[in-house]
Chains A and B, each alone.
Chain A
Amino acid sequence: MTPAATPKDALREFVDNLKAAPRRLRDTAFRTGPPTTDRTRSTFVFGNVFLHLHSVRTHLWSLKWSTTMGLGIMSVSAFLIALVTGVMLMFYYKPYPEAAYESMKDIHFVVPTGRLIRNLHRWSANIMVIAVILHMARAFYTAAYRKPREYNWLMGIGLLVVTLGLSFTGYLLPWDQLAYWAITIGANIAQSPREVTDAVGITEVFDPGGFQRLLLLGSDQVGAEALIRFYLLHVMILPLAIAALMGVHFWRIRKDGGMVRPDNAGVLLKRARQQETYPVFTEAPVKTYQLAAVVRGRTANVGRGPENTVPSMPHLFYAELGVLMVTLLICLALALVSDAPLKELANPNVPENPAKAPWYFLGLQEMVSFSAFMGGIGIPAIVLLGLALIPYLDRETEGTGQWFGGPGGWPLVRLSAIFGLAVPVVLEAFAIRFGWLREWFPEIPQLVVTIVNPATILTSIYTLYSIWCIRRFQSTRAGALGLFTCFLAGFLVLTIIGTYFRGPNWEFFWSPSDWPKH
């Protein structure tokens, strides 16, 4: 038999293949060709594992700026920026007490672009906290937590906790005075259940506070063990946890039928944007029905037509990319004008005065200055529990998908905001001017101070107010609107007082320029 091809032919084919390699590489990566028609746009999305976290078509309501304000994507974007810059910082950072401080100084002053990377990491972390809180507020005010999104709201609470955990663990790593004393205070907050067990006299047999602190620090003081633990949490455990939670969060959004929208979204959209959509089934749909048996009547999109939707590629993806770029721009601008702080090396014998936690914990620190246990553990636990219960206590449907939707609406939110701002201001002013129980009755038992202090009174007043809202409007949503608005307002007031009006010895000052020199 003669060979099918002469050696010369095979060589030629090889050269041809070599020339065609780039094109073929592209074809195998993007199997369905460029996304230029509705059909190829769809195949473009569901042929790609990352893009297919989104559905192939997006409702016009979801694309409205006022629906999400891009805040969720902004949170992810800030997280991604922190992830990339964080990995870069790890090239130089050494998690051992004095070495950690030295390596931070190196990164800041010696490593080329080190300072910019460090600043970007700090700022993206701060932006992430702000974005997550605002995103939660928007999910709340548009009543997006309602059926079928209850579970995703819970995932959101998990994300909030892990986000704060990431920020807190990162705060120790520079091992400077700020870091050391913030973590000392934090670890002792973990130990503060002792305030109660001591008062009741059972610490000897039952000491959850001491155990928590030991778990966190790995020792009975903030040292090398604590630093390694915080490092491990910061670069491994919490990022993995947040990635897993985000995966569930995004997947759920799809399964819950995309962004929340009012029942009459189509009608509301008609006026503005009808001309942008057109019938989808202009040609016979190519669709497999293998899943039909599984999905019958279960997921949110079954039985719904594709009206008022547009292809996610490019409409949604370009909007998301835009938000990412804006976030990057904000972080970059802040990183260029403002350096991340680095104080003196940690000194376990002389506290920073005042020793302040990161700004988003200063509201907590303000409450902690009344009672360690209530301010640091009790009230935060009540708040988280309250947030988690919202979707299960408010089962109404009026106003879903609309800003401040539901009975009471915007006027109630405005009233609650004023009320929510005024109460903590009055309580704080009183406590600052006249002191609190211990100053009047020096012998008072600790348990009384733990239970009756400005922070617990504030929480009780907010709760009573929300019950009043439920009765006044005969609506659980109204109660939720009142309580959530009060919670945001209280957080704001306490954070501002802690940030701007507390000086050395945690005393009240009208401005930092009044602080005594020492």
Chain B
Amino acid sequence: MTTKSQPPRSRLDPEPLPRRDWLGLSSLWTMGAALLFGVAGMLKLPKAAVLASPSKKFRVALPETLALGEAFIPPGRAVAVFKDADGVHALSTICTHLGCVVKTNPEGFECPCHGSRFKADGEVARGPAPQPLPWLKVSVSGGVVTIDEGATVPAGTKVQA
């Protein structure tokens, strides 16, 4: 008999593969697959299909006294609205660096967080901001201005009443 001639197997030797029965292997693989699909599915969960954010469109009446070229900040909005001879335009006042709200100053805007400065047309004058302040979509009917914070227009777009 051939088995007699083999040396006795020690507990320290690796076990032959057949002992790893299909049950063990298949449960390992199904667990791997379940983990993969489960994690892939869970990664979708934190990203809601509809974001819980208020409407970005709002209407506001410019004050009668607003001087030409002076910024008007609608209450509770991070937007600056201007009126001059060419029409009305609006700039977002959310700093393009890290999202602080910029204040107006004589030259344009300044950001309190890391000192970015913007010119009156939104161009970056200095500091770390990588992009100019975006111009927002505006429409005017009568004295009422409608501004959409979610839509940008090319810089220089002004709307006549």
Contact in complex: B11, A293 (CB < 8 Å): yes
Query: Once bound together, how far apart are the Cα atoms of A452 and B58, in whole Å?
Result: 41
A interface, CB within 8 angstroms of B: 181, 184-185, 187-189, 192, 194-195, 198-199, 211, 214-215, 218-221, 223-225, 229, 293, 348-355, 365, 368-372, 435, 438-439, 442, 446, 449-450, 504-507
Residues of B122-140 contacting chain A, CB below 8 A: 124-128, 130-131
Contact in complex: A507, B101 (CB < 8 Å): no
A184 to chain B, nearest CB (A): 5
**Can you list, as one digit per residue, whether each of B100-129 has a CB less than 8 Å from chain A (1) or not (0)?**
110000000011111100000000111110
A353-B112 in contact given A293-B11, A372-B98 (Cβ < 8 Å)? yes
Residues of chain B contacted by A507 (CB below 8 angstroms): 115
Query: Once bound together, how far apart are the Cα atoms of A224 and B78, in whole Å?
Result: 19
Residues of chain B contacted by A192 (CB below 8 angstroms): 98
Contact in complex: A199, B51 (CB < 8 Å): no
Contact in complex: B52, A225 (CB < 8 Å): yes
Contact in complex: B114, A506 (CB < 8 Å): yes
Residues of chain B contacted by A187 (CB below 8 angstroms): 99
Query: Once bound together, how far apart are the Cα atoms of A439 and B116, in whole Å?
Result: 11
Residues of chain A contacted by B78 (CB below 8 angstroms): 348-349
Contact in complex: B98, A293 (CB < 8 Å): no
Determine if B8 is an interface residue (Cβ-Cβ < 8 Å).
no
Contact in complex: A185, B11 (CB < 8 Å): no
Contact in complex: B115, A369 (CB < 8 Å): yes
Contact in complex: A215, B130 (CB < 8 Å): no
A505-B46 in contact given A221-B53, A372-B130 (Cβ < 8 Å)? no
Residues of chain A contacted by B114 (CB below 8 angstroms): 365, 368-369, 506
Contact in complex: B101, A349 (CB < 8 Å): yes
List 18 interface pairs A-B (beta carbons < 8 Å), by A numbering: A184-B100, A187-B99, A188-B99, A194-B130, A195-B130, A198-B131, A215-B46, A215-B47, A219-B51, A220-B53, A223-B52, A352-B112, A354-B113, A368-B114, A372-B97, A372-B128, A372-B130, A505-B112
Residues of chain A contacted by B130 (CB below 8 angstroms): 194-195, 198-199, 372, 446, 449-450
Nearest A residue to B11, CB-CB:
A293
Query: Once bound together, how far apart are the Cα atoms of A143 and B46, in whole Å?
Result: 41
A197 to chain B, nearest CB (A): 11
Contact in complex: B76, A349 (CB < 8 Å): yes
Tell me how many residue pairs across A and B have CB atoms closer than 8 Å. Answer: 99
Contact in complex: B100, A351 (CB < 8 Å): yes
Across the A-B interface, the 8 shortest Cβ-Cβ residue pairs: A353-B112, A369-B114, A188-B98, A188-B99, A506-B115, A351-B100, A446-B130, A506-B114
Determine if B1 is an interface residue (Cβ-Cβ < 8 Å).
no
**Can you list, as one digit per residue, whether each of B79-103 has a CB less than 8 Å from chain A (1) or not (0)?**
0000000000000000001111100
B100 to chain A, nearest CB (A): 4
A223-B101 in contact given A293-B12, A354-B112, A355-B113 (Cβ < 8 Å)? no
A350-B52 in contact given A438-B127, A505-B115 (Cβ < 8 Å)? no
Query: Once bound together, how far apart are the Cα atoms of A195 and B111, in whole Å?
Result: 18
A439-B98 in contact given A369-B115, A505-B111, A506-B115 (Cβ < 8 Å)? no
Apart from A192-B98, A220-B51, 20 more pairs, CB < 8 Å: A184-B100, A185-B98, A188-B97, A198-B130, A211-B47, A220-B53, A349-B76, A349-B78, A350-B101, A353-B112, A353-B113, A355-B112, A365-B114, A368-B114, A372-B130, A435-B126, A438-B127, A446-B131, A449-B128, A449-B130
Among A194, A352, A438, residue most surrounded by chain B Cβ atoms (within 10 Å)? A438
Residues of chain B contacted by A219 (CB below 8 angstroms): 48, 51-53
Residues of chain B contacted by A449 (CB below 8 angstroms): 128, 130
Nearest A residue to B131, CB-CB:
A198
Contact in complex: A185, B100 (CB < 8 Å): yes
Contact in complex: A368, B115 (CB < 8 Å): no
Query: Once bound together, how far apart are the Cα atoms of A223 and B53, in whole Å?
Result: 9
Chain A facing B: main interface SS = helix
Residues of chain B contacted by A435 (CB below 8 angstroms): 126
Contact in complex: A189, B128 (CB < 8 Å): no
B93 to chain A, nearest CB (A): 9
Query: Once bound together, how far apart are the Cα atoms of A439 and B129, in whole Å?
Result: 12
A75 to chain B, nearest CB (A): 30
Residues of chain B contacted by A442 (CB below 8 angstroms): 124-126
Query: Once bound together, how far apart are the Cα atoms of A188 and B98, in whole Å?
Result: 5
Residues of chain A contacted by B76 (CB below 8 angstroms): 349
Contact in complex: A351, B113 (CB < 8 Å): yes
Contact in complex: A184, B99 (CB < 8 Å): yes
Nearest B residue to A438, CB-CB:
B126
Query: Once bound together, how far apart are the Cα atoms of A348 and B76, in whole Å?
Result: 8
Query: Once bound together, how far apart are the Cα atoms of A348 and B12, in whole Å?
Result: 67
Residues of chain B contacted by A355 (CB below 8 angstroms): 100, 112-113
Nearest A residue to B43, CB-CB:
A215
Query: Once bound together, how far apart are the Cα atoms of A187 and B100, in whole Å?
Result: 11
Nearest B residue to A192, CB-CB:
B98
B125 to chain A, nearest CB (A): 7
B90 to chain A, nearest CB (A): 16
Residues of chain A contacted by B99 (CB below 8 angstroms): 184-185, 187-188
Residues of chain A contacted by B126 (CB below 8 angstroms): 435, 438-439, 442
Residues of chain B contacted by A505 (CB below 8 angstroms): 110-112, 115
Residues of chain B contacted by A351 (CB below 8 angstroms): 100-101, 112-113
Query: Once bound together, how far apart are the Cα atoms of A507 and B113, in whole Å?
Result: 9
Query: Once bound together, how far apart are the Cα atoms of A255 and B3, in whole Å?
Result: 41
Query: Once bound together, how far apart are the Cα atoms of A505 and B112, in whole Å?
Result: 4
Query: Once bound together, how far apart are the Cα atoms of A189 and B127, in whole Å?
Result: 16
Residues of chain A contacted by B110 (CB below 8 angstroms): 505
Nearest B residue to A185, CB-CB:
B98
A471 to chain B, nearest CB (A): 35
Query: Once bound together, how far apart are the Cα atoms of A85 and B157, in whole Å?
Result: 56
Residues of chain B contacted by A354 (CB below 8 angstroms): 112-113
Query: Once bound together, how far apart are the Cα atoms of A355 and B130, in whole Å?
Result: 19
Query: Once bound together, how far apart are the Cα atoms of A372 and B97, in whole Å?
Result: 7
Contact in complex: A370, B128 (CB < 8 Å): yes
Nearest A residue to B47, CB-CB:
A214
A15 to chain B, nearest CB (A): 53
Nearest B residue to A216, CB-CB:
B46
Query: Once bound together, how far apart are the Cα atoms of A369 and B11, in whole Å?
Result: 63
